[in-house]
Structure 1
Amino acid sequence: MNPDATDRQLMKLLQQNAQLTIKEMAARVNLSVTPVHDRIRKLEKEGYIERYVCLLNRRKLGKNLLVYCNITLDKQRKESFEEFNEAVGQMPEVLECCVVSGSFDYLLKIVVDDVEAYNQFYQQNLSVLKSVLHISSFFVMSQVKSTTELPLE
């Protein structure tokens, strides 16, 4: 199935507010409740909709420092990547971890309370990994744009 314009409209509405009722979405896309319900279930079944989440305000929770971190591994070996992947998967401070091309191996998005908390995280979690050769950290001064909405046009 390739999502049509109505499916994309429904996905856009859900990205903006997953708490909308089926009735509210039906009114916005000019369909009755049953076809909207069926379309959403089909989008879920086919994997277009992976899950529903709640986005929290990190600052209200004291997570005031956002850090991007470049990681270079010591060797380009399968074991090094596996070890690093496993370790990072256990770190709740790491919001995103991507293997990238270029002059380093990983790009991490990390959230912590403050610089002191990051220093502790850095020393106790990242720098102790055997496979890590180099770490370069970038502190976010301000966010110009932050969204979870994928473009659907």
Structure 2
Amino acid sequence: MPKADLDDIDRKILAVLQANAHATTEQLSAAVGLSPSPCARRVRRLESDGIIKAYIAVVDQEKIGLPISVFASIKLERQREDELDRFSNAVMAWPEVAECYLMTGQRDYLLRIVVKDLAAYESFLKQKLTRLEGVASIESSFALGQVKNAQALPIP
């Protein structure tokens, strides 16, 4: 996918919205130095171009009772397209999987799984992950603490 051509005002708009998706058009236009109408048009263009994909609330996983993050490295028996698709489709249906990456190297996938406790992870592992056809091995690592979790991307 080609890189979008962003000017300095587009970059400022993205930086402001990443810090505060609730910013009103008036607040946004004041922050980037445009009047409200052209600022709103730029935001609509960024949305229609797919640069702004969604507006979300970032939820504190501990405060909602999901304090455990488990990183699971998955190796499949074979890396054929149909098997990769089967795994990806299954993962999309599992709410415990917060993130999933197709990887290079020794493992095929890296998952971040969020659960309330060790028993919940064991249940997820036994009831879902190990039952999925084509999984050759699973290596789990438990996060002891989070050092950084940047929600905002560095805008080049």
Report Cα offsets for 1:40-73 as digits up to 9, x if no partner: 0111111111111111111111001001110000
Aligned to 2:151: 148
Task: Quote the Cα distance in structure 1 between the aligned partners of 2:119 and 2:21.
Answer: 36
Q: Percent identity?
A: 39
Task: Quote the Cα distance in structure 1 between the aligned partners of 2:53 and 2:127.
Answer: 33
Task: Quote the Cα distance in structure 2 between the aligned partners of 1:16 and 1:5.
Answer: 17
TM-score, scaled relative to structure 1? 0.96
Aligned to 1:55: 58
| Residue type of the alignment partner of 1:114 | D
Aligned to 1:112: 115
Stretches of structure 1 that go unaligned for 5 or more consecutive residues are none
Aligned to 1:34: 37
State the shift of 1:79 in Å: 2.3
* 2:101 equivalent to 1:98: yes
Report Cα offsets for 1:92-129 as digits up to 9, x if no partner: 01011111000010011110101111111111110111
State the shift of 1:137 in Å: 0.5
Task: Quote the Cα distance in structure 2 between the aligned partners of 1:140 and 1:7.
Answer: 36
TM-score, scaled relative to structure 2? 0.94
| Residue type of the alignment partner of 1:97 | C
Task: Quote the Cα distance in structure 2 between the aligned partners of 1:123 and 1:76.
Answer: 23
Aligned to 1:123: 126
Secondary structure of the 1:72 match is strand
Stretches of structure 2 that go unaligned for 5 or more consecutive residues are none
| Residue type of the alignment partner of 1:26 | S
